[in-house]
Amino acid sequence: MRQPRVFSPRQNIRVGSSVKLEDLDVYHIRNSLRLRKGDEIIIFNGYREFLAELNIVRKDFVTAKVKSIVKDEKWLEKRAFNLYIGLLKAGKLDNIIKMLTELGIDKITPVQMEYSQVKKDAVTDAKTSRWNNLAIAASKQCKRISVPVIDEPIMFDDLISELENEKNKFVFLPSVTSNNILKISENKLEVNYIIGPEGGFSPAELLKLKKINCTEITINSNVLRSETAAVSALSVLKYLDKN
């Protein structure tokens, strides 16, 4: 049987240490997988992956003793890919988080834009927490060590402030008039890309993006849904980064 993978936010995990599992994993291990003391699991914490053995299995409390390091991923040294995406209707961002986690996204920031049908104030802390739990679950499934961060929503002008001095910033549009060359600066560790909401960008927003020198890119002659554009764009950027 494949060893279950669980996430721990604890950063100082070492061989020989005992790790208390998160509540969601406790229920899954006891009631779904029916694991017992002595069974082995994989623990990942964003930096490393460990082989561990369950040593305490109680109704509401499970710990595991770390036996060895399985994988050490120095992910902070690699290039980070960050998505800024217009706030979407319920459920759409859920799918984006799952798919982009598999593709290797590092951060997703929802943005209230002029044509967003969902407003920033409507996003509760519980929803943001749920989005981060989706990212953890997707990371377990696809065997990632790092877990993408799902930020709290921001306003469009906050996006402009955050990206104003960044080098690698791309906005994906249905069509562009200029023939931009898709090039990633090699000496920068971050790539930021921007996708609009269902209604697209407003003229005022496009002007602000142009003023901070965002590279305008078209990846398809058809009008893509925000979900499709977010996934397709990351695939293009990842491919470009490796070639």
Check whether 76 has a pLDDT greater than 80. Answer: no
Q: Tell me the per-residue pLDDT of 14-30, one tens digit each, with 9 for 90 and over.
A: 999 999 998 888 888 88
Name the band, by pLDDT with cuts 50, 70 and 90, for residue 60.
Answer: confident
Question: Would you state the structure tokens that stand for residue 1, as one six-digit string?
Answer: 């049987």
Could you give the CA distance from residue 43 to residue 18 in angstroms, rounded to a whole number? 11
Closest by CA to 217, choosing from 229, 207, 205, is 229
The answer to whether 164 and 193 are in contact (CB under 8 A) is no
Name the band, by pLDDT with cuts 50, 70 and 90, for residue 68.
Answer: very high
Question: Would you state the structure tokens that stand for residue 45, as one six-digit string?
Answer: 């914490």
Which SS3 state, helix, strand or coil, does residue 94 take? helix
Q: Tell me the per-residue pLDDT of 108-167, one tens digit each, with 9 for 90 and over.
A: 999 999 999 899 999 999 999 999 999 999 999 998 998 999 999 999 999 999 999 998
**Count of beta carbons in the 10 Å neighbourhood of residue 10:** 13
Position 152 scores a pLDDT of 94
Pair type for strands 154-155 and 107-112: parallel
Q: Evaluate if pTM is beyond 0.75.
A: yes
The answer to whether 231 and 103 are in contact (CB under 8 A) is yes
Catalogue all structural domains in the chain, each as residue range(s) with its CATH number.
5-73 (2.40.240.20), 76-242 (3.40.1280.10)
Angle at which helix 92-103 crosses helix 125-142, to 10 degrees, equals: 40
Question: Would you state the structure tokens that stand for residue 7, as one six-digit string?
Answer: 């996430």
Check whether 201 has a pLDDT greater than 80. Answer: yes
Identify the residue with better confidence: 217 or 111. Answer: 111
Could you give the CA distance from residue 155 to residue 146 in angstroms, rounded to a whole number? 27
- Tokens 């590279």 correspond to what residue? 215
